[in-house]
Each structure stands twice: as C-alpha cells, then as structure tokens.
Amino acid sequence: MDLKLLDRVAVVTGASKGIGLAVTRSLLEEGAKVVAVSRRMTPELKNLGGVGLLHVSADLMDPDAPGRIVDRAVGHFGALDILVNNAGGPPPGITMPRTGFFDGDDAEWQAIFEFNLFSPVRMTRAAIPRMIERGGGSIVNVSTGMARQPASVNIEYGAAKAGLSNLTKALSEEFGPQGIRFNTVSPGAVRTAWWTEKGGAADAIAAMAGADRDTVMETIAPQMMGQVTGRLIDPQEVADAILLLASPRSASTIGADIAVDAGFHKSF
C-alpha cells in the first residue's frame, strides 16, 4: 500500500536506535525526507545515509533544542509535515526498572517528566506553527501501555506518559480543525536498548530474579508484561503503526491511541 509519504518532511526524535531508527528507516523507504534527532550519530543511523536524511544532534533536555531542530528541518528541507515524538524512557543518569514509589526522589521525577513529557510538549509547540503554514500535518506521540494500565513498577515513567497521552487527545481537539492530526502509539515491552544494553532493564531484572539476561528477554519480561505472544515486540512492529498514523491514509484517524503491546492492555 502506498502511504503517500513521498517528499513529506518528517522530524523523528530518538532516531538513533530502537523504535526511532525503525521509523526513520521506514520513512526513507517510503520516499519521505527525514530529520533524525539524537544526541549522537550511531553507525546504524549513518548507514541509512542518502540525501533524504539529515541528522541533527540535540539534547531534548535542553528547552531551546526543539526550536533549533524545527528551524533546521525547515531550513534544510523547506517544510515540516510530520513529527514523531519518540524519544523517551530513562533520561541520562537514571536507571530503570524502579520497583516502587520510594525508589526516586524529586530530582529524578523531574528528570523523567522533562524527558518524557516536557520535551514532546516543546517539540510540538515548535512544530505546530510550521504545520499550520503548510495547511496541516501529523504528530505521532510514542507513549506506553503503562499510561493506561498503571503498575507499581516505573511509576514516574507511567505518570509522565499518561500526561503525554492526555495531551494528544487535548491537542487533537484544538488543532484538528486546522488540519493537524495528533495520535498516540502505546507499545508494550519492545526489544530496544532499554532492555538490551549492558546495565539495562534485562540485567536489573536478571539480578532480582536470579536469572540470566537472555532468559529475562526471551521469557521473563514478556510474562511480566502479560504479552500473549510470549516475546518482546520488534521495533519495526511499532514503526509500522507510527507510519500508518503519520500517513495521509489515516486522514480521519484523530486522537487515537493505538496499542502495539502484544495484549498487555486487557481492559476495553
């Protein structure tokens, strides 16, 4: 199916690995022009190459970064049609999982909210005027299944992402009449660096469970998350949903929250 993304200009945050890398690759394959935002270039992102890709190095914890990113996108490609607010998870210096409410102090709560809620707020604030100039656009926010199904694990993260999901609905109402569509994708446990990197979630859970990291990723983590497929989700599976929401094919999909969670969310 042609997603009608040829020559559309997209900004993707957290683009160097995981879901963001998969989104960037898929957009390029569809003929879009992509501004890939990350703290640093990775070999995987560099290998995508091509004239349709611009890497912008930025720290989204910096309140001024979103404005600079959008200006670079418009200056380089001439427009902005799509924003994927994908960057999220534990900010630098903070490790997850957290097993209870008292695991984090105010500074850590603030950092998690800055990265997972306020940085998308600022990116969105910078993008909207440019999209209005174009007559519309699409903004896809990457949330989490825990935003709708709270748990005692990673409470700060779930609360921040719940705010992002709420924001998506509210902005859909305000800016939908101006042609800007807002939607959310809420993944379950995805095979990303959060899980796979040394010292990441898999190692932390392995230490608590007395298991090895491979057992955590192949068995324990999917069971903990109630993922009926019995495996972690592939980043490309999340990227596919994001691309469909970003596409003009989804012109009447506004304010939706699409679960790509392998059955984690059980309620209606």
CA-based nearest residue to 115, from 81, 152, 156, 146: 156
Tokens of 97: 């999982």
Pairing between β-strand 257-260 and β-strand 180-187 as defined by DSSP bridges: parallel
Half-sphere exposure of 27 (CA within 13 A, CB side): 34
Q: Tell me, yes or no, if 201 is annotated catalytic.
A: no
258-48-96 Cα angle (round to 5): 50
Of 115, 157, 175, 194, catalytic: 157
Tokens of 62: 């910096």
- DSSP characters for 151-204? -SSSHHHHHHHHHHHHHHHHHHHHHGGGTEEEEEEEE-SBSSHHHHSTTSHHHH
CA-based nearest residue to 91, from 69, 75, 67, 113: 113
Report whether 182 contacts 139 (CB < 8 A): yes
By annotation, the residues acting in catalysis are 157
